[in-house]
Amino acid sequence: MRSKIAGVGYYVPETVVKNADLELLMDTSDAWIQERTGIQERRYGKAHAETTTTMGARAAEIAIQRAGITKEEVDFIIFATLSPDYFFPGCGVLLQRELKITSLEAPALDIRNQCSGFIYGLSIADQFIKSGQYKNILLVGAEMHSMGLDFSSRGRNVTVIFGDGAGAVVVQPTESEGILNTVLHSDGTYAEELAFINPGCHGGYHLGKEAFGYTDQNYGGIFLTEKMWNEQMIFPTMNGPLVFKTAVVKFQEVILEALNKAGLQAEDIDLLIPHQANLRISQFIQQKLNLRNDQVWNNIQKYGNTTAATIPIALGEAWEAGKIKEGDLICMAAFGSGFTWGSVLLRW
């Protein structure tokens, strides 16, 4: 028994935010952003009207319809995001409620693997299909970054990169090749190099309690300290150059690992869908693997980095554009916070 992607859908919010719009909020420029990242614009969800869950639900409805099933047939939900509606419960159950998928009381699993979330989710779905436990797994990757970014100049290296959006797939059993293999990796050594640390339950354990304003008196039950709030330590931060340098190596390694396991070469890939972290990273990998432009799908120019949503959005766009045909060898790969990284190789 193998598994296949039976339907794919995506949703991006209406509001387009151009680089020039960000120039009005922080010390940055369209030229800098385009030159360093390739990004021209991104989408932001409508505050108070949209959330990570609602965007995920819109993408899921399309994937479910394209898979030719009803919502009630979904027997397992996997939701990948780093920007959940609530700290808990996770977006999986919120999506289940939003879509009214309650007939089977199907389990909902939330995964926290940031940019690799969709790849990790697809690997989990693949194992559950292969084991025969589930038959219609709904996997969603969605993000509402715009609600949690630092729009002052201090946050510019992170904020200009990220955008909102959602993508979803339905994974089903197949008699044909389908998913050939999945490869997952992580290395927690660099956990804080790309992270959203506060508020949180760390109590200063990893980086020293003074750094976050904890004292022996207030320690215990303090989730958000005055220092975190007053010094605006409540946004994601990134060591961009380190992430970049590591990403270009790990992307390549993990793609080649998946190809080697399947006895295939880079030249056999019909379409590579890299996680959209930075156009320069994608171009570097393309060059290293010696792939033509028509073998790689990039859309970061329009959407920025939508983290767990980038791969299913790109997959959905490529499918709609007729770039994915039956029998094509598709490779998807991601790298991100954790660090975590992984790849999926499949025959469409």
Q: Which of 3, 37, 182, 286 is the binder for ligand COA (CB under 6 A)?
A: 37
Q: How far apart are CA 86 and CA 278, in angstroms?
A: 28
> Which tokens belong to 295?
């073998």
> Which tokens belong to 120?
């990790």
Active site residue 136: no
- Stretch touching ligand COA by CB under 6 A, among 83-91, 94-102, 236-244, 259-267: 236-244
Active site residue 202: no
Residue with tokens 């299913």: 312
Site for ligand COA in 191-230 (CB under 6 A): 194
Query: Would you say 225 or 337 has its CB closer to ligand COA?
Result: 337
H-state helical runs in the chain: 19-23, 30-37, 52-67, 91-98, 117-130, 156-159, 226-230, 240-261, 279-288, 300-303, 310-320
Q: Peptide bond before 199: cis, by omega within 30 degrees of 0? A: yes
Q: How far apart are CA 31 and CA 39, in angstroms?
A: 10
Q: Which of 36, 71, 227, 288 is the binder for ligand COA (CB under 6 A)?
A: 36
Minimum distance of ligand COA from residue 187's CB (angstroms): 14
Instruction: Write down the catalytic residue from 91, 113, 115, 278.
Output: 115
Query: Would you say 37 or 96 has its CB closer to ligand COA?
Result: 37
Q: Which of 208, 241, 263, 322 is the binder for ligand COA (CB under 6 A)?
A: 241
- Stretch touching ligand COA by CB under 6 A, among 204-212, 213-221, 240-248, 322-330: 240-248
Query: Would you say 151 or 244 has its CB closer to ligand COA?
Result: 244
Q: Is the dihedral of CA 282, 284, 289, 294 positive or negative?
A: positive
- DSSP structural state of residue 291: -
Active site residue 48: no
3-state secondary structure of 241: helix
Task: Output the DSSP codes for 74-103.
Answer: --EEEEE-SS-SSSSS-HHHHHHHHTT--T
If binding means CB under 6 A, how many residues of this protein chain bind ligand COA? 21
Interface map 296-335 toward ligand COA (x if CB under 6 A): ---------x------------------------------
Q: How far apart are CA 268 and CA 296, in angstroms?
A: 12
Site for ligand COA in 107-166 (CB under 6 A): 115, 156-157, 160
Q: How far apart are CA 286 and CA 207, in angstroms?
A: 37
Site for ligand COA in 39-98 (CB under 6 A): none
Minimum distance of ligand COA from residue 192's CB (angstroms): 14
Q: Which of 3, 19, 28, 146 is the binder for ligand COA (CB under 6 A)?
A: 28
Q: How far apart are CA 272 and CA 254, in angstroms?
A: 12
Which positions touch ligand COA (CB under 6 A)?
28, 32-33, 36-37, 115, 156-157, 160, 194, 238, 240-241, 243-244, 247, 277-278, 281, 305, 336
Question: Active-site positions?
Answer: 115, 275, 305
